[in-house]
Chain A
Amino acid sequence: MSERKLLLGNDAMAHGLVESGCSVVASYPGTPASEILSGVALWRERYGVPMHVEWAVNEKVAFEIAYAAAQSGLRAATAMKQVGLNVASDPFMSAAYLGVTGGFVVISADDPGPHSSQTEQDSRLTAMSAKVPVLDPDSPNQARELIAAGFELSEAFRVPVMLRPTTRVCHANQDILPGPVAPSERTAAFVKDPTRWAATPVFRHKLHLELEEKLAGIAAWEPTAPRLLNPGVSSGKALVASGVAAAHAREVLEDLGLRDVIPLWQVVQPYPLHTAFVERLLADYDEILVLEETTGVMELQLADRHRVKGKRSGFVPEVGELSPELVERLVAAFAGIPAAPSVAPPTGGGRRPTLCPGCPHRASFHAIKRAAPKGIYPSDIGCYTLGLNLGGVDTVLCMGAAVSQAAGFYHAYKLSGQVPDIVATIGDSTFFHAGIPPLIDAVVQDARFVLVILDNATTAMTGNQPTPALGWGAGGVPTATVDMEGLVKACGVRFCRSGEPGNLPAFTALMKEAVAFARTDGLAVVIARQPCVVDRTYTGERPPKRAVRVSDACNGCRFCTTQFECPALVYDEETKRVVVDTLVCSKCGVCVDVCPRLAIEEVGK
């Protein structure tokens, strides 16, 4: 492959993994990291290289599978988003102490902004507390290059290495000249060494000492040392930037005419910060502006901080993305020149995200609200989080918490008397990821609520990756399957029934049964089973199409638009009635059973 190609940052990293002779890659999908593993599966097939590539059931499992390969001398990687790293933090912390034999790259993608995450946490801080070196790319191409550098660093010091891209790297596309692919010649060779691989606390103390020595060496490792992007410029002031902030800063310096005025240092390894660089920085410059997302990780490692302008000093905001316009203002202020007047975006306006037209989750939420109108609705991470627009979601904490929170609400209310109806929702992939242990706990502790598993046969939010129930894995390869009903029943649940939410009357009746069971008999599980409307990988049957129109019986009460919120139902200010936008209607027909005046009818009926 010798021509320049437009590659998504995640695809570029995937190519970097395959280029570097990586043999095992495991991941759980999470925006913005999801496309890395699918990219690896694609390149693996394209080049015909032998690799094990898998969608693991969660990040902890993904991490441990890849880590074992790195313990066996192979090159291995795992990819996740920043909150996914929390799930894998247990093995992550330990792996730093035990180290690796082959190269091990942990990709943890951060989401400053945050565009599609619960937090703006900085994975580099987690790496810092685990004592794992981090590389921080500024672009898709640099992310690809740092994969190779990461493997070299990892093997030179026998430590896991973190690559920390952000949304603007993962989801930017760039023209890239990919490197040649050379399949790895290594074979797995695990060397038993229980004092290391199964180290008891006494040995861990020794391993910690070793790790500190390694870090000192890494802080002097030439290939990842900071780079002066505009050599020959001298000034009392210096800019230090990492990640995409470095890319913004480069362009902004140029536009402000400061490229030959202020030196710009790009740090590709924000932790551990190179010792010689820190000394030089403090010796050569009086004033230093540090630009990094999201937390001041480099800044924390700079002693003599009164000369440093950054997040700690309050010069750079602690919250949110460092947008290029913000970087422009900060650099101008630092240089003491006027910035271009800022152009404010309009306030308000725009559409809020909502479930797709015809999405089965919308029907499920509607049925839930009918069956338990005064209920508490704990929910979880996925498309269905958008059910909060519909009033069907009251809590969203983290993967799997819908189940444990539902149990928690039950126990809390039971102590003080009246228990309300509690209906929790969780997606199929999320259920496999983190829903099973809390379900077991709920059964054992006799928590009484309804758990609705929204089974749309995919991991929809992140781009339709497979779940363990489907029988195919990364790159479409066949896998064994896990039966969800069997699993639920084996957890000790006595009420476990499935239904199709698109058949709203029947599904609502099923929900009412489940709510009644939960009030008197115990935990009930309803599996709401209907395929995702935008899943192109789905090959099974779909419900028949039912085109709809709104009749003259519509009085414009807006029940359907506010309570059901299908984007294809539009309130027309002129006629004061609702119309169907046929450009977006998916012809699911569910709204026929939503309008209280029966004003929505099937065409041709």
Chain B
Amino acid sequence: MTGGEQLIISGVGGQGILFVTRILAETAIRNGMPVMTSETHGMAQRGGVVISHLKAGEFSSPLVRPGRADGLLAMKEENIALHRHFLRPGGWIVANASRVPAGLEGHLVHVIDADALALEIGSPQAVNLILLGFALARLTDAGLFCSTHQVIATIERRLGEKGALRAASLKALRLGMERAEA
């Protein structure tokens, strides 16, 4: 309707989905876009499926309707099947998976084994940012509402006072970006 962008970010509790959503939403605000996000709290967060809706642009409902999302960021392979119905025809999928699952025709699909990379750098909680870095680098043509540089700037602003965490977060993001080029 509005030229805005609607994303679904999903995974399971404890994977830092809320953090990724917030980084993207704050980047949207810096870009002068109105933004709304909506996520799961409470019961479902305890190891269950966590889904977050992000809408940047002139929207009024906090939720994405099925068939309307421009993209799906899946932190676990199983979340692709669970939440693909939110995608519009032609919408993109970026997923943490070791290979491209079958049956995703009609969508632009990019996968990265972020679990393995996170273990490699000894930081299991980095999966979310590895995937985000990878997505940003791969989606330049698919037209994400923000650029890698803008996201880096948001992380730097947000974690400015937390030196070690900021460094680790940016390292994870860059690792994902590098692998996107490989």
Contacts and interface: CB of A to CB of B under 8 A. Distances in A.
Given A31-B41, A168-B38, A352-B48, A325 B66 contact: yes
B62 A247 contact: yes
B177 to A, nearest CB: 21
Contacts of A336: none
Contacts of A323: 63, 65
Contact of A356 (B29, B46, B65, B66): B46
Interface residues of B, number: 45
B37 interface: yes
A344 B29 CA distance: 32
Chain B facing A: main interface SS: mixed
A584 interface: yes
A439 to B, nearest CB: 26
Max count, chain A CB within 10 A of own CB: residue among B2, B36, B37, B82: B36
A583 B15 CA distance: 10
A116 B12 contact: no
B67 A383 contact: no
Given A343-B85, A346-B85, A354 B46 contact: yes
B63 A324 contact: yes
A247 B60 contact: yes
A116 B65 CA distance: 22
B81 interface: yes
A6 B47 contact: no
A550 interface: no
Interface in B142-164: none
B65 A324 contact: yes
Contact of B22 (A115, A168, A173): A173
B113 to A, nearest CB: 12
Contacts of A251: 1, 59-61
A121 to B, nearest CB: 17
B16 interface: no
Nearest to B32: A4
B2 to A, nearest CB: 8
A115 B60 contact: no
Interface in A341-386: 342-346, 349-357, 383, 386
Contacts of A461: 42-43
Interface string B58-88: 0111111111000000000010011001000
A351 B49 CA distance: 6
A248 B22 contact: no
Given A172-B37, A349-B81, A583 B115 contact: yes
Contact of A248 (B63, B118, B119): B63
A357 B64 CA distance: 31
Given A346-B85, A350-B48, A168 B62 contact: yes
A244 B61 contact: yes
B39 A171 contact: yes
A583 B113 CA distance: 13
Max count, chain A CB within 10 A of own CB: residue among B25, B26, B40, B60: B60
B47 A139 contact: no
Given A345-B85, A583-B124, A353 B46 contact: yes
B104 interface: no
A185 interface: no
Nearest to A253: B60
B132 interface: no
Contact of A353 (B1, B35, B45, B78): B45
Nearest to B56: A175
A11 interface: no
Contacts of A573: none
Interface in A219-274: 244, 247-248, 250-252, 254-255
A174 B53 CA distance: 12
Given A323-B63, A354-B48, A173 B36 contact: yes
Contact of A342 (B40, B45, B66, B118): B66
Contact of B42 (A31, A138, A244): A31
A343 B62 contact: no
A350 B60 contact: no
A217 interface: no
Nearest to A325: B65
A138 to B, nearest CB: 8
B158 to A, nearest CB: 10
A355 B63 contact: no
A461 B44 CA distance: 10
B63 A115 contact: no
B20 to A, nearest CB: 13
Contacts of A386: 43, 46
A480 interface: no
A349 B82 contact: yes
B30 to A, nearest CB: 9
A351 to B, nearest CB: 5
Contacts of B46: 353-356, 383, 386
A328 interface: yes
A251 B63 CA distance: 10
B101 interface: no
A462 interface: yes
Max count, chain A CB within 10 A of own CB: residue among B13, B25, B63: B63
B60 to A, nearest CB: 4
A32 interface: yes
Nearest to B52: A173
B36 A172 contact: yes
A6 B85 CA distance: 27
Interface string B117-144: 0110000100100000000000000000
A112 to B, nearest CB: 12
Interface of A: 4-6, 31-32, 115-116, 138-139, 167-169, 171-175, 244, 247-248, 250-252, 254-255, 323-325, 328, 340, 342-346, 349-357, 383, 386, 461-462, 534, 567, 582-584
The 8 closest A-B pairs by CB, nearest first: A116-B42, A353-B48, A31-B42, A172-B62, A343-B66, A116-B43, A343-B67, A173-B37
23 contacts: A6-B26, A6-B37, A31-B41, A115-B40, A115-B43, A116-B41, A116-B42, A139-B36, A167-B41, A171-B38, A171-B39, A172-B37, A172-B38, A174-B34, A175-B29, A254-B2, A340-B67, A345-B66, A345-B82, A353-B44, A353-B47, A354-B48, A383-B46
Given A31-B43, A116-B42, 4 more contacts: A6-B25, A116-B41, A325-B65, A343-B67
